């Protein structure tokens, strides 16, 4: 099969991104953009992001996960520690996060080091989730081969009965991560493919801001 996709073309004309108007703190700049996407972007899940890791087999892999919080320390998400991505991050804690907000013609790429959140943070978030999601964390041996879907349905029914009248414990193999950024890049689409790219990187504990060629 041969598909020619040359006819897909779009001129990016939504906005601009300048050194003089971006915040000196990239996390603050991310917050500004995120709030704009929330209120103006018309995107159902603006917190959806691509998490890229280097697998234990040495191959890169990316997948969509959901950002669940951010502050001056970094960007937080939650998953199964024993999943493929969990094992990858344990072996190589350097990861990349990327956000694509097409209606705003914007991208953000974050590179940094990931570490586990403390158990109290993971407990708090786990018990804030819907009951079905809490049970799902118990049911799924994430990334492992299973015979069929019925395996999941049977385990779900078992755990529903087990925890019908008592709190669901957070599994020890499930919890939070935080990515501490070392490099953050903001991309704004512009006409003629002359896009705006502003990159921040840490030098001697300070953020340095610079423009990149598109």
Residues annotated as catalytic (active site), given as ranges:
193
Q: Measure CA 80 to chain center.
A: 14
- Give dist(CA 139, CA 173) in Å, integer: 12
CB-neighbour burial class of residue 161 (10 A; exposed 0-12, middle 13-18, buried 19+): exposed
Contact present, 109 and 185 (Cβ < 8 Å)? yes
Contact present, 104 and 187 (Cβ < 8 Å)? no
HSE-CB for 154 with a 13 A CA cutoff: 6
Nearest residue to 185 (alpha-carbon basis) of 193, 197, 176: 197
Q: Hey, which residues does 115 pair with through a beta bridge?
A: 178
- Give dist(CA 199, CA 203) in Å, integer: 13
Sign (positive/negative) of CA torsion 31, 36, 37, 39?
positive
What are 207's two structure tokens?
């953020």
User: Look-up: residue for tokens 């956000």?
Assistant: 99
- Give dist(CA 3, CA 160) in Å, integer: 47
């Amino acid at each position: 099969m041969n598909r020619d996709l040359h006819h897909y073309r779009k001129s990016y004309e939504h906005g601009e991104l300048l050194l003089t108007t971006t915040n000196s703190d990239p996390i603050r700049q991310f917050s500004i953009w995120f709030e704009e996407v929330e209120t103006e972007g018309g995107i159902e899940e603006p917190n959806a992001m691509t998490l890229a890791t280097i697998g234990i087999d040495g191959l890169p892999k990316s997948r969509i996960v959901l950002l669940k919080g951010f502050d001056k320390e970094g960007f937080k998400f939650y998953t199964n520690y024993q999943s493929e991505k969990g094992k990858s991050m344990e072996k190589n804690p350097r990861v990349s996060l990327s956000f694509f907000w097409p209606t705003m013609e914007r991208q953000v790429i974050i590179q940094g080091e990931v570490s586990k959140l403390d158990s109290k943070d993971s407990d708090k978030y786990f018990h804030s989730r819907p009951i079905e999601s809490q049970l799902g964390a118990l049911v799924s041996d994430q990334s492992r081969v299973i015979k069929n879907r019925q395996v999941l349905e049977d385990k779900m029914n078992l755990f529903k009965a087990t925890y019908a009248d008592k709190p669901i414990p957070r599994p020890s193999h499930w919890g939070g991560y935080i990515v501490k950024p070392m490099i953050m890049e903001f991309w704004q689409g512009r006409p003629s493919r002359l896009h705006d790219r502003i990159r921040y990187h840490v030098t001697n504990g300070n953020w340095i801001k610079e423009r990149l060629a598109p």
